Amino acid sequence: MKIKCILAFLIISLHVQKVSAQVFNILPYPNKLETTTKGQFDLNTTIEIATTITDPMVTPTIQLLKENLKQYHKISPIGKTKFEIYLDNSITNKEGYTLSIASNKIILKGNNAIGVFYGVQTFLQLAEQFKKTKLIPAVFIEDAPALSYRGLMLDVSRHFFPIDFVKKLVDIMAMQKMNNLHMHLTDDQGWRIEIKKYPKLTKVGGYRNGTIIGKFPGDGNTNQRYGGFYTQAELKDLVKYAATKFINIVPEIEMPGHASAAIAAYPALSTFESEKKVQETWGVFEDVFSPTEYTFNFLQDVLDEVLAIFPSPVIHIGGDECPKEAWKRSVFCQDLMKQKGIKDEHALQSYFIQRIEKYINSKGRQIIGWDEILEGGLAPNAKVMSWRGEAGGIEAAKQHHDVIMTPIDYCYFNFYQSTNPKDSIAWGGFLPLSKVYNYNPMPKGLNELDATYIKGIQANLWTEYVTNVKLAEYMLFPRSIAFAEVAWTKQKPGFDHFVKRLVPYLSQLKANDIHYSTQLFDIKIKSKLNAQKTGFTLQATGVASPAELIYEMSGKPLTIKSPKLIAPLTVSTSATISIGALFENTVVNEVHAEFTINKATTATILNTSTPDPAYNQSGAQGWSNGIIGSSNRFNDGEWLGFNGKPFETVMQFNKTETLQNVQCMLSKKVDDLVVEGFVV
């Protein structure tokens, strides 16, 4: 599986803050980049690659460099210019490198093979940016990652993805200097890894007899058998492939909860044996592994085969969302707790995790789990992934356990990334590109020593509603690119600078047949009552400059020939307005604003209760700004939300008005809503 390791260069007018005269399109951005006065390196010349490195891990990287340089000019044993590659142990970070580009020579130094690989990735991006002139400005780059663990999780249990797609994902991760791919291999809805000692795990647990339709709780069931799994040979090949790009594959085997698929295959693993099934819907299910010797022996057998496939120093054991009701009702569990002096079911989960940890430690590996493994006491050597916010990570760091931060608000790529009501179904929440980029992975409240235990960050793509490869790509890109810069760059140059570099990269994603999201071009519409109070002035903003925004009135469909939105529009009558952004001569995004002009729209809002921060984007004027909110997306910026709290607003009309009918758009029924004597 190969992917083009180049960047296509595109010039597009952007609405961004001023940046330096020369922006280098490197993603993620280097920690130190200085232009020098040593001229320009001419790609249109014979180049000699010179190195004394004997490490075989460097060989594929040099071959990659040669293949890419051939498109510019000849590679020769004796060239007019040299590309020299060295190992330099004075570079203290094992993933660090320096890249010096002058008119007659390029010198790349890495601490080891990893640093050399990352340095080549940076050079290839520069070479493609300046492909047209074939003259790379002289620069000096000194670079190393901010965080040692830079991860991405792909849930293959809820929906299964072919191994070729996983390799494609590895390719892009390598270009972005990410180094850990976490594969969520087992859950209630499917078991995806071949275990030879227990063939029913895939024969039975690898398939479900249907899947809910639409958003949970669903509008029916497909009633179609669905599933799949990876053979051990496929996974070993994946591990080998990823290693050439310095990416570690972290396997996850869920326990003691999220175990329905395994229990369906082997019901004796359950606290209460009865007819079981692989789950066809989403959520948390009560049936979990029973802490019997049979279960522990079974899991040890499974882990033996997992460890033989994956050389990862850490093995993910899940540990999240484990209901305790079955354990509370189980005579065996209650007797075990008395026998072992276990005070409650949370401590019983800790006992379960510690048993597994002891076994994995005996094999020379360590466990990592979601932050629920803190409950009842953290296993002695466990690492923690903090997903329910940052509190679990902070607590684990204070206990001097290694932590990977993955808080749901910033790192869950199964959340919506656009307010467009036509966006595909997502789990919930709202995580736009800008919020991903502005995440600060170092939580407050840690002293200098405790902060050293924050080892990295990880983005997660849960796939309940991600049913195919194209949709997975749409949810991942370009958010994962922003996330890579958060993980790598110590002092990020800012979101506008990032966008300036990202836009050319979109063409590279397209060249590699990646179906990326155009949320980058999302358009925000704001309306303001005009001075005469006869209508509204409509302002549309987005990444694209006004020259790239187009519009149509009265619901007419947008085309590339639609008029440009150069100046704000004036709206004085009820109308539907469509506004879109143009990118590469294509309408990549469009929004529709339905305006209703009535007596309330010209009123002044004097006072209103404060909405919940998540539903207050339009401010008090949202009560009467003329824009109708989406009926199926309450995060579109046009809804005011109070989450069950009483609310009040006061409007002042410009003149005495006779009101015959009062309507209030509500997302759900509200009791006792009173509007100046009118009961709605």
Active site residue 254: no
Residue 478: closest CA among 443, 504, 439: 504
* Coil, strand or helix at 37: strand
CA–CA gap between residue 425 and residue 416 (Å, rounded): 8
Q: Which is nearest to 495 in space by CA: 420, 503, 405?
A: 503
Chain centroid to CA 554: how far? 37
Distance separating alpha carbons of residues 627 and 606, to the nearest angstrom? 19
- The DSSP secondary-structure symbol of 289 reads B
Residue 635, both tokens: 């995060």
Q: Identify the sign of the CA torsion 363, 364, 365, 366.
A: positive
- Reading the block at residue 565, the tokens are 């939105």
Q: Kindly give, in sequence order, each residue whose CB lies less than 8 Å from that of residue 368, ignoring residues fewer than 6 positions away.
A: 250, 314, 315, 316, 317, 382, 383, 384, 385, 404
Rounded to an integer, what distance in angstroms lies between the CA atom of residue 121 and that of residue 143?
12
DSSP for 149-160?
A: EEEEEEE-SSS-
E-state strands within 118-256: 135-143, 149-155, 180-184, 186-187, 190-191, 207-208, 226-227, 248-255
Choice among 128, 155, 187, 636 that is catalytic:
187
Active site residue 522: no
Helix, strand, or coil (residue 82): strand
Cα distance between residue 451 and residue 396, in whole Å = 11
- Dihedral through CA 267, CA 270, CA 271, CA 273, nearest 10? -20
The answer to whether the peptide bond before residue 256 is cis (omega within 30 degrees of 0) is yes
Cβ 279 vs Cβ 189: under 8 Å: yes
Burial class (CB in 10 A: 0-12, 13-18, 19+), 680: exposed
Contact 615, 634 (CB under 8 A): yes
- From 258, 316, 401, 497, the catalytic residue: 258
- Closest C-alpha to 359, from 393, 391, 325, 315: 315
DSSP at 521:
G
The whole-angstrom separation of Cα 125 and Cα 141 is: 13
Radius of gyration for the alpha carbons in the chain, expressed in angstroms and rounded:
28
Are the CB atoms for 148 and 223 separated by under 8 Å? Answer: no
C-alpha distances out from residue 650 to 12, 507, 536, 608, 623, Å:
46, 50, 20, 6, 10
- Among residues 286, 321, 344, 496, the one annotated as catalytic is 321
Give me 176's structure tokens: 């972005």
- Spatial CB neighbours of 323, under 8 Å, sequence gap ≥ 6: 257, 284, 285, 286, 288
Contacts (Cβ under 8 Å, ≥6 apart) of 22? 35, 137
Q: Is the dihedral of CA 7, 8, 13, 15 positive or negative?
A: negative
Cite the active site residues.
Answer: 187, 258, 321
